[in-house]
A and B are shown apart, each in its own frame.
Chain A
Amino acid sequence: MSGDLVLQIILTVAAGLVGVGLYGALSQQSIVMIMMGLELALNGVLLAGGAAWYFLAPQRPDAQMLIVVTLVVMAVEMAMGFAVTIAIYRTRQVDMVDMAADLKG
């Protein structure tokens, strides 16, 4: 199997992860489940970055740096998401996004 084909198949898998993650982030009501959807979409970015490094430009470190940045984004998203969850739950016992719709226009 040629490398081009393998690259395209892997990128298709990555696109599937992004699509499923986006569905989860948009459809879930629980704040933690929304965060899991975002993480799943970022998982697809990890996979696409690794495939791009190996199949397109293994001599350059740029795709590896993209993976590092994605991992950091995941950590920041998780930390800030839980901090916000704790803050809003502590003050208003809100754990679902539909319960925090006061500012909805």
Chain B
Amino acid sequence: MAELSGWAIGAVAALGVTAIGMGIAVFSVDSMARATFALLGSFLAVAGILLVFDLVYLAVVTALMMTIEMAIMAVFMIMFMMNPAGLMPMSMVHNKRGSAGAGAVVFIVLVIGVWTVDWPTRDGQPPADSTRQLGEAIMGSHMLVMLVIGVALLATILAGTVLATARGRYDRFGADLRATRPDDPVGGGLRR
């Protein structure tokens, strides 16, 4: 099986505990900003574990992407949500008992699976460069996955823009789109 050195196992253990602890903190701290940064801590701990596994590229991508994502999320928290600074105790939950039960059941089922499955022995050694392995897969045997991802991201860009647009054509030209002049607050907009 795999050989991890002693320090690597220690690092994985510390990072694993950090990931779980930060994950629990997300739903127990009083401030949404703090919750955001607790989630970021959990992501960074997982990125550290990926780094121990020689998945350098994916670890760096995870760390960078999640740092930016959580920064954006913190901005949204402060824009929309109540109590972003945690000046008073915060508890905005519903059906807490049922949710905790569902989470616990899923965890227990997964753990039973993890500890009862007869895991296969390791097939081969890690490649010298895991990033090269991933790149060759993306451009070769797994290109279909990247094609689907590309289309999905394009659809996300379009749908996000449509949803975030304040005034669409029905606001400008009426429900039947028959208005001759657009009903804009300020003139100079696009014609039909």
B54 within 8 A of A: yes
Mask: chain A, 38-63; 1 = CB below 8 Å from B; 0 = not: 01100100110011011111111110
Query: Are B114's CB and A80's CB within 8 A?
Result: no
Known: A3-B2, A67-B58, A89-B80. A61 touches B142 (CB 8 A): yes
Query: Are A22's CB and B103's CB within 8 A?
Result: yes
- Nearest A residue to B146 via CB reads A68
- Which of B19, B24, B127, B153 is close to A43, meaning CB atoms less than 8 Å apart? B19
Give the residues in chain A near B157, CB-CB below 8 Å. 79
Give the size of the chain B interface in residues (CB under 8 angstroms). 82
Query: Are A17's CB and B4's CB within 8 A?
Result: no
Q: Is the interface of A mostly helix, strand, loop or mixed?
A: helix
- Rank and list the top 6 A-B pairs by shortest CB-CB distance, nearest first: A3-B1, A19-B107, A23-B103, A59-B124, A27-B99, A61-B137
* Interface of B toward A, CB cutoff 8 Å: 1-4, 9, 12-13, 16, 19-20, 23-24, 26-27, 32, 35-36, 39, 42-43, 46, 49-50, 53-55, 58, 61-62, 65, 69, 72-73, 76-77, 80-82, 92-96, 98-100, 102-104, 106-107, 110-111, 114-115, 119-120, 122-127, 130, 133-134, 136-138, 141-142, 145, 149, 152-153, 156-157, 159-160, 163-164, 166
* Interface of A toward B, CB cutoff 8 Å: 1-4, 6-24, 26-30, 32-33, 35-37, 39-40, 43, 46-47, 50-51, 53-62, 64-65, 67-69, 71-72, 74-76, 78-80, 82-87, 89-90, 95-96, 98
